[in-house]
């Protein structure tokens, strides 16, 4: 079983969903919202439409089980408690099955990008591992802000070795 924390549908979410679908056919995406009123309804409707278009339809076309989308209210968009509740529900359903939590993370190439973008994911990873139980694992899926410079690094290493 795989749980994804979904903030919005974007390229990072698409990649996390792809990784989760490769790991398991039982995937749950958890979106937390603190909005109320008409803005909340519009936001939820847009997310459900994107989910149907980019997840449900391709899964159905491929003959795969459709991942589930859960939208839950959470004051201040607190992530830890709702995520732990969902993991507990999954573990009650299948007690000895592992639960994998997939977290997306921006991977910057500069030191200040790393500080800005990875702290939240690291804190959530630590909390999930501390409170999730022994059947829980966390997989961090990085998203590069810039194209990788693999060839340049290899050329520099080759020049230094020569």
pLDDT tens digit at each of 162 positions of the chain: 888 888 888 888 898 999 998 888 889 898 887 666 677 788 888 999 999 999 999 999 988 889 999 888 776 656 777 777 777 887 778 777 888 888 888 776 666 666 665 577 788 888 888 877 788 888 888 877 666 566 666 777 766 665
Neighbours of 4 (CB within 10 A): 24
Cα distance between residue 58 and residue 142, in whole Å: 23
Cα distance between residue 83 and residue 90, in whole Å: 11
For 91, the token pair is 């573990």
Domains defined along the chain, listed by start: 2-161 (3.40.50.620)
DSSP 96-110: TS-EEEEEEEEE-SS
């Amino acid at each position: 079983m795989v749980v994804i924390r979904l903030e919005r549908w974007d390229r990072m979410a698409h990649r996390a969903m792809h990784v989760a679908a490769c790991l398991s056919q039982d995937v749950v995406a958890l979106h937390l919202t603190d909005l109320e009123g008409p803005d909340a309804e519009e936001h939820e409707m847009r997310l459900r439409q994107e989910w149907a278009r980019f997840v449900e339809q391709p899964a159905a076309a491929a003959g795969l089980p459709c991942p589930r989308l859960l939208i839950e209210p959470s004051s201040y968009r607190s992530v830890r408690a709702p995520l732990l509740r969902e993991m507990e529900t999954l573990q009650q359903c299948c007690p000895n099955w592992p639960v994998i939590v997939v977290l997306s993370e921006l991977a910057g190439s500069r030191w200040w990008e790393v500080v800005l973008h990875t702290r939240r994911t690291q804190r959530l990873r630590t909390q999930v591992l501390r409170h999730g139980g022994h059947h829980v694992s966390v997989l961090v899926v990085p998203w590069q802000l810039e194209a990788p410079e693999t060839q340049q690094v290899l050329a520099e290493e080759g020049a230094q070795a020569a």
